[in-house]
C-alpha cells in the first residue's frame, strides 16, 4: 500500500520513473530527427521539442499524482491538455524499500517545492554532445534541497550500437546517493569543470585563480556534478549569474549526500523556496572535497561583481 510510505519517498520513487520517461522522450525526439529548435534569449539559450515534451511529461505526471506540490519548470509553456502518452504513473519500487530519514517523515505534500530542468545541456544536445545531457528533478523543503533525481538519457552511448542507454542517479539527504560509483579526483590535482557555451571574462578570471592543472569545458550543471562524484573533476566553478535553481537543486542533493558541497561564489548556501528568484545570481562553486581551498581562491573582483 502506497499509504504506508512517506510523501517524500513516494515522490522520489515517482520522480525516478518520471525522469526515466523524460529520458526516453529525449532519445525519441533526437531519433526522429526534428528537434524543433527555438532561440529563447540568445543563440546559446535554446529550447527544443524534447525540452517541451519532457517538461510536459515530468510536470504533468508529478502534478497528477501529487496535486498539492509546487512544481517550477524551466520552460515557460502554455497550459494545455497533455497527451496521455506523456504521462508516467509508475514508481521505482527499490526506493520505497528504503527508510525515509526521520527528519523528513512528517513532511506534507504542500510543503515541498520541485525544481525541474527537463533537458539540461540543450545546446550540447543539438550538437550531438549527448553525454552532457541530463534530466533534473530536485525536491526542496523549507528552502533547502533535500532529494533529487538525475537521469542521463545517453549514458553509455559511445559503447556501441548494442549498448543499453541511460542511467538514473538519485539521492536523499540523510540516506545517501545511489546509481553511480563514487570516485575522487586525483589527490593534489586541481581539475576545474566549467561552462562550455556560457563563458565570460569573469568566468575565466575565476577559473584561472584556482591555479588549475586542467580545465574541462562541458555543458550541463547535472553533467558537471557527475564529473565531481565520478572523479573526473575536483571543482565546478561558474562565476556567472547564468545558472538557475532548476540547474542546481537535484545535483546539489547528490553532491551533498556523498559529503560534497555546493554554494554560490561567496560560499553561501542556495535557497530553493518557491518565492526565491530563479537565477543563481552569485554563481556556483561545487566540490566533492576541499571546498574551502577553492572558495578562498575566488578573486575579490569576482565576488564584488556577483551579488547574491
pLDDT for 1 equals 38
Annotation says 122 is catalytic: yes
pLDDT for 3 equals 55
Please state the φ and ψ torsions of residue 251, each to the nearest 5 degrees. -60, -35
> Running along the chain, 308 residues long, what does each successive block of 10 average in pLDDT?
80 98 98 93 87 96 97 84 93 97 98 98 95 98 98 94 94 98 96 87 94 96 98 97 95 98 98 96 97 97 93
pLDDT for 215 equals 97
pTM over 0.85: yes
pLDDT for 307 equals 86
Q: Cβ contacts of residue 134 below 8 Å, gap of 6+?
A: 117, 119, 120, 121, 150, 151, 152, 153, 220, 222, 223, 226
Identify the CA nearest to 246 among candidates 98, 135, 83, 167. 135
Annotation says 41 is catalytic: no
CA 261 to chain CA centroid, nearest Å: 14
| Active-site residue (options: 24, 44, 51, 264) | 51
Q: Which residues are annotated as a binding site for Mg(2+)?
A: 74, 117, 119-120, 247
Torsion of CA 221, 227, 233, 235, to 10 degrees: 30
Domains along the sequence of the chain with CATH: 7-178 (3.30.540.10), 191-305 (3.40.190.80)
Look up cell 548494442; give the residue. Answer: 162
Amino acid at each position: 500500500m502506497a499509504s504506508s510510505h512517506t510523501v517524500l519517498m513516494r515522490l522520489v520513487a515517482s520522480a525516478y520513473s518520471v525522469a526515466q520517461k523524460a529520458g526516453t522522450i529525449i532519445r525519441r525526439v533526437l531519433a526522429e530527427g526534428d528537434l524543433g529548435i527555438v532561440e529563447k534569449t540568445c543563440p546559446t539559450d535554446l529550447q527544443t521539442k524534447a525540452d517541451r515534451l519532457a517538461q510536459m511529461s515530468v510536470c504533468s505526471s508529478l502534478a497528477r499524482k501529487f496535486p498539492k506540490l509546487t512544481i517550477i519548470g524551466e520552460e515557460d509553456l502554455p497550459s494545455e491538455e497533455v497527451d496521455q502518452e506523456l504521462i508516467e504513473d509508475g514508481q521505482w519500487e527499490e526506493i520505497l524499500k528504503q527508510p525515509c530519514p526521520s527528519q523528513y517523515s512528517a513532511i506534507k505534500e504542500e510543503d515541498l517545492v520541485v525544481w525541474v530542468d527537463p533537458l539540461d545541456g540543450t545546446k550540447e544536445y543539438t550538437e550531438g554532445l549527448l553525454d552532457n545531457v541530463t534530466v533534473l528533478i530536485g525536491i526542496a523543503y523549507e528552502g533547502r534541497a533535500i532529494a533529487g533525481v538525475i537521469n542521463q538519457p545517453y549514458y553509455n552511448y559511445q559503447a556501441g550500437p548494442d549498448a543499453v542507454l541511460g542511467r538514473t542517479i538519485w539521492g536523499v539527504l540523510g540516506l545517501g546517493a545511489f546509481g553511480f560509483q563514487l570516485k575522487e579526483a586525483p589527490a593534489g590535482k586541481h581539475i576545474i569543470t566549467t561552462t562550455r557555451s556560457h563563458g565570460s571574462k569573469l568566468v575565466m578570471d575565476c577559473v584561472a585563480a584556482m591555479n588549475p592543472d586542467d580545465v574541462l569545458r562541458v555543458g550541463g550543471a547535472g553533467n558537471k556534478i557527475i564529473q565531481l562524484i565520478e572523479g573526473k573533476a575536483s571543482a565546478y566553478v561558474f562565476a556567472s549569474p547564468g545558472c538557475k535553481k532548476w540547474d542546481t537543486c537535484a545535483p546539489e542533493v547528490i553532491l551533498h549526500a556523498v559529503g560534497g558541497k555546493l554554494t554560490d561564489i561567496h560560499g553561501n548556501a542556495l535557497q530553493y523556496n518557491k518565492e526565491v528568484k530563479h537565477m543563481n545570481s552569485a554563481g556556483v562553486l561545487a566540490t566533492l572535497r576541499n571546498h574551502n581551498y577553492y572558495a578562498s581562491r575566488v578573486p575579490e573582483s569576482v565576488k564584488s561583481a556577483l551579488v547574491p
